[in-house]
A and B are shown apart, each in its own frame.
Chain A
Amino acid sequence: MSEQKTSQICIVTVTGKDRVGIIARLATTMAKANINIVDVNQKIMEDYFVMTMAADIGQATMDMGQIKKQLDHVGRQMALKITIQDENIFKAMHRV
């Protein structure tokens, strides 16, 4: 399925209370699945720590369902809400 794909950018979003090691933990999880992190942004919005991460899963060793499971696992352990969605949905909704 993913052999010919060279690049598929997904946006990972993280919300929750800020603490040490969030980015480190996510980066490790992604590196294990051969996911390349392209961009990271973070802010405090309405008392929440929010972070968005653009990640290229084109060469990943897992499919999207498995990646999602891994992220959910991290989310549960660190009490964070983590989602992953293909970048195109944001482009469609926010760019004319």
Chain B
Amino acid sequence: MRISVEEVFETVGMTLDHHFDIRTVTLGINLKDCMDRDLDWLIRQAQARIVEKGQLLNHCADALEQKYGIPITNRRISITPASLLLEPLPRKTITAVKLAKALDAAAKKADIDFLGGFGAMVQKGATAAEENLIDSIPEALSETERVCGFLNLASTLAGINMNAIVKIGHVITDLAHRSEKGIGCAKLVVFANVPEDSPFMAGAHHGIGEPDYSLNIGISGPGVVRNVVAQNPDCDLTQLSEVIKRTVFKITRAGELIGRELAGMMKVDFGIVDISLAPTTSTGDSVAEIIEAMGVGRMGCPGTTAALALLIDAVKKGGAMASGNVGGLSGTFIPVSEDAGMIRAVRSGTLSLDKLEVLTSVCSVGLDMFAVPGDTAPEIISSIIADELSIGVANNKTTGVRVVPVPGGKPGSIVHFGGLLGSAPVMKIQTKYTSAKFVERRGRMPSPILSLRN
């Protein structure tokens, strides 16, 4: 049956009027076979592969953009966790920093805006090479432009590595003070239950369970979903869920089609479609505005958690019907700085850090891109991370933290990061009482029991 005029215009309208795009195509590249005791050899091998595949990715993505008329906004690369590549090499910070700079140069040459995977899995404990990588993060991420870091600090099966969480509090503080407005911290995410195939930066990496290459795709359409919710102002919540499901089905199918074809053109394995709703700073491309279109007065006021739970459930159901390869984070991103509606909610006082944390218990992904005063003590940052990762561990899902301490930033002031990262109001943190003594106990919080669910 030929496609009807209405169907054609629904699709065209999504891209022209409601910001529907393929948010990212991310090629995972295995570099395990490049490991060597000679750093220069490793760098030559890794750079050659990244440049070759990165250029091919850009070339093929351009061709498909033209063919299907849907923008492929970002083209990215994720690699084998860099800590593995550092295992055979001297345990010196300078080694890790040199590797980061080489990766940065390769990404630049391939015209890839972000390269993920400068990180480690340390949920249970860290090897000497992993400790070295963590120590190098402030220098490595502040002196490179395109390299993104991740650390998995907790998992449901291993528990929570509080030694690493205490350390990372200091690393984040140090990184913030080395980069203008703390922007370096936008390139570092710490996780519980990190997925090995997420296409979204800054947390993407090519996990150890992955093949040589894997093409993962992140679709996005907060604007499309907001539009369809706004067009149904009076239907009941069951019906609303149906409407969202149908829309997400459609946009996921577009992602699946383009992802498969792109992988075919590049002769690599097709990995997953990440169905996360990822907002941008463009007007109308906001998750907060979907929640508000559902009838919540302002993002963050009572009712927000329920609305967000309904939204993410409908998104998952629609996405799962559309693709057998749904993976990655597949949640709803609620980054403060990258979503105009979120910024508005923080500024008007309805959305506090406490409420943000509550929201992350129903949508994966976690506390994302929020700014705190630059003089926030490292123990407080560690405590925020411990809280957030506990939500992920206890609920058997992914959570992450991407916090930007802004040097000189005072609560209520706005810091402009520019570009994709948007701008963030510096959030107020309660500092009168701290949990320094709790996190400083260190050790590993045992993995939770999976029966006797509360």
Q: A residues within 8 Å of B by Cβ?
A: 11, 13, 15, 39, 41-43, 45, 50-52, 54, 64-65, 68, 81, 83-95
Given contacts A87-B3, A89-B257, A92-B256, contact A11 B8 (CB under 8 A): yes
- On whether the beta carbons of B69 and A94 are closer than 8 Å, the reply is no
| B8 in contact with A86 (CB, 8 Å) | no
Main secondary structure of the interface of A (DSSP, over half): strand
The reply to whether the CB of B108 lies closer than 8 angstroms to some CB of chain A is no
Assess the A90–B5 pair: CB atoms within 8 A.
no
Collect the chain A residues with CB atoms within 8 Å of residue B179's CB: none
A19 to B66, CA, bound (A): 28
Known A13-B12, A83-B12, A94-B250: A89·B5 in contact at CB below 8 Å: no
B2 A39 Cβ-Cβ under 8 A: yes
**Chain B interface residue number, banded:** 20 to 34
Which residues of chain A are near B8, meaning CB under 8 Å?
Answer: 11, 13, 52, 90
Q: Is the CB of B254 within 8 A of A89?
A: yes
Distance in angstroms between the alpha carbons of A86 and B68 in the assembled complex: 5
B11-A93 in contact (CB<8A): yes
Is B9 part of the binding interface, using a Cβ–Cβ cutoff of 8 Å? yes
CB closest residue in chain A, given B6: A45
Ranked 8 nearest A-B pairs via Cβ = A85-B69, A92-B257, A93-B250, A92-B253, A90-B3, A94-B7, A89-B68, A52-B8
Contact A83 B69 (CB under 8 A): yes
Q: Is the CB of B67 within 8 A of A41?
A: no
Minimum distance in angstroms from A87 CB to a CB of chain B: 7
Give a binary string over B274-317; 1 marks a CB under 8 Å from any A CB, 0 the rest.
00000000000000000000000000000000000000000000
Q: Are A54 and B2 in contact (CB under 8 A)?
A: yes
Closest-CB distance, A74 to chain B (whole angstroms): 16
Contacts of B250 in A (CB 8 A): 93-94
Contact with A along B1-24 (1 / 0, CB 8 A): 111111111111000100000000
A-B contact pairs, 5 of them (CB 8 A): A11-B3, A41-B5, A85-B67, A90-B8, A92-B254
| Chain B residue with Cβ nearest A11 | B8
Please tell me if the beta carbons of A85 and B5 are within 8 angstroms of each other in the complex: no
CB closest chain-A residue, reference B3: A90
Chain B residues whose CB sits within 8 angstroms of the CB of A92 once the complex forms: 253-254, 256-257
- Chain A contacts for B5, CB-based, 8 A: 41-43, 45, 50-52
In the complex, chain A residues whose CB is within 8 Å of the CB of B68: 85-86, 88-89
Q: Within 8 Å CB of A90, what residues of B?
A: 3, 7-8, 11
Chain B minimum-CB-distance residue to A42: B5
Closest residue to B8 on the A side, CB-wise? A52
Q: Cβ of B165 < 8 Å from any Cβ of A? A: no
Chain A residues contacting B1 (CB-CB under 8 Å) are 95
The CA-CA distance from A84 to B69 in the complex, in Å, is 7
Among A39, A81, A93, the residue within 8 A (CB) of B253 is A93
Q: Which of B4, B9, B16, B258 has the most CB of A within 10 A?
A: B9
Question: Which B residues between 1 and 52 are near A, CB-CB below 8 angstroms?
Answer: 1-12, 16
Determine whether B70 belongs to the interface, using a CB cutoff of 8 Å to chain A: yes
Q: What residue of chain A has the Cβ atom nearest to residue B7's Cβ?
A: A94
Q: How far is the CA of A59 from the CA of B212 in the complex (A)?
A: 37
> How far apart are the CA atoms of A41 and B1 in the complex, in Å?
14
Closest beta carbon of chain B to A79's beta carbon, Å: 16
Q: Which of B228-257 contact A (CB under 8 A)?
A: 250-251, 253-254, 256-257
Are A68 and B66 within 8 A (Cβ)? Answer: yes
- When chains A and B are docked, how far (Å) is the Cα of A39 from the Cα of B250? 24
Q: Judge whether B66 and A64 touch: CB under 8 Å.
A: yes
Q: Which residues of A contact B256 (CB under 8 A)?
A: 92
Beyond the given pairs A11-B8, A13-B9, A64-B66, 8 more chain A to chain B contacts, judged by CB atoms under 8 angstroms and listed by A's residue number, are: A41-B4, A41-B5, A45-B5, A83-B69, A89-B70, A90-B11, A92-B254, A92-B256
- CB A93 to nearest CB in B, in angstroms, measures 4
The answer to whether B3 and A94 have CB atoms under 8 Å apart is yes
Which of A43, A89, A95 has the most CB atoms of chain B within a 10 A radius of its CB?
Answer: A89
A16 to chain B, nearest CB (A): 13
Could you tell me the distance between the alpha carbons of A57 and B4 in the complex, rounded to whole angstroms?
Answer: 20
Shortest CB-to-CB span from A5 to chain B, Å, is: 12
Of chain B, the residue at the smallest CB distance from A54 is B2
Whole-angstrom CA separation of A86 from B65 in the bound complex: 10
Q: Is the CB of A89 within 8 A of B66?
A: no
Q: A94-B3, A94-B250 are in contact. Are A89 and B9 (CB under 8 A)?
A: no
Assembled-state Cα–Cα distance A52/B2 (Å)? 11
Question: Which residues in A have their C-beta under 8 angstroms from that of B2?
Answer: 39, 54
Smallest CB–CB gap between A4 and chain B, Å?
A: 16
With both chains docked as a complex, state the minimum distance between the C-beta of A66 and any C-beta of chain B, in angstroms: 10
Q: Which residue of B has the minimal Cβ distance to A41?
A: B5
Checking A54, A84, A88 against B257 with a beta-carbon cut-off of 8 angstroms, the contacting residue is: A88
